[in-house]
Amino acid sequence: MDAGHERCTRCLFQQRVCLCAEIPTIPTATRVVIVRHHLEQWRSSNSGRLAHYALPNSTLHDHGGTGGPAELPSLDGAWLVFPTGAETKTAPPVPPRQLVVLDATWSQARRMFRKLPALRGLPILRLPDAPMPAARMRASPEPGRVSTIEAIARALRLLEGETVAAPLERLFEVAVERAARMGRQL
């Protein structure tokens, strides 16, 4: 394999467009629990990995495959960021201590939601509608469906403000730009 196509073992982008130097460190009061579908583990387009690297107060748990169901930490005081028809709240009256975010394709996320009993009964945080950037790493199945890192940024904007959300959104913009340089087209 030519040296320009070798992948960074951390961000999984090609070495020539590695994102690692662009990943900020963003302290948050809210713990972010990312539950990643096992098929996302080796995809360079997986934005949950990037969010985890940027957020020291986050944990990443793989779900499915040979590892079986994700083993989740205590979700005391947690809210789930998930678009569903269930009763949702746009802004919680008392900020949650933790946010749980499913990191998967939309169909995988729906199955994970059904298969992980720890998620049932969690209050669901509805993200406010906001314009989506035209540039994406993956196609959105319908308007308003955003990537994992964008969902985390929007949720943290509600809870902790712009200074936490903006660096995550900028990281996603850089990732989209670098993905385009690798030849990914959407």
Confidence band for 77, pLDDT divided at 50, 70 and 90: very high
pLDDT of the residue at 186: 37
Strand order in 31-37's β-sheet? Answer: 58-63, 31-37, 98-103, 78-81, 124-125, 88-89
pLDDT of the residue at 185: 42
pLDDT of the residue at 43: 87
What tens digit of pLDDT does each residue of 19-40 get? 999 999 999 999 999 999 999 9
Is the overall model pTM greater than 0.95, yes or no?
A: no
pLDDT of the residue at 2: 55
Confidence band for 182, pLDDT divided at 50, 70 and 90: confident
How many secondary structure helices (H) and strands (E) does the chain include?
4, 6
What tens digit of pLDDT does each residue of 120-138 get? 889 988 887 666 665 555 4
Which parts of 21-164 are beta strand (E)?
31-37, 58-63, 78-81, 88-89, 98-103, 124-125
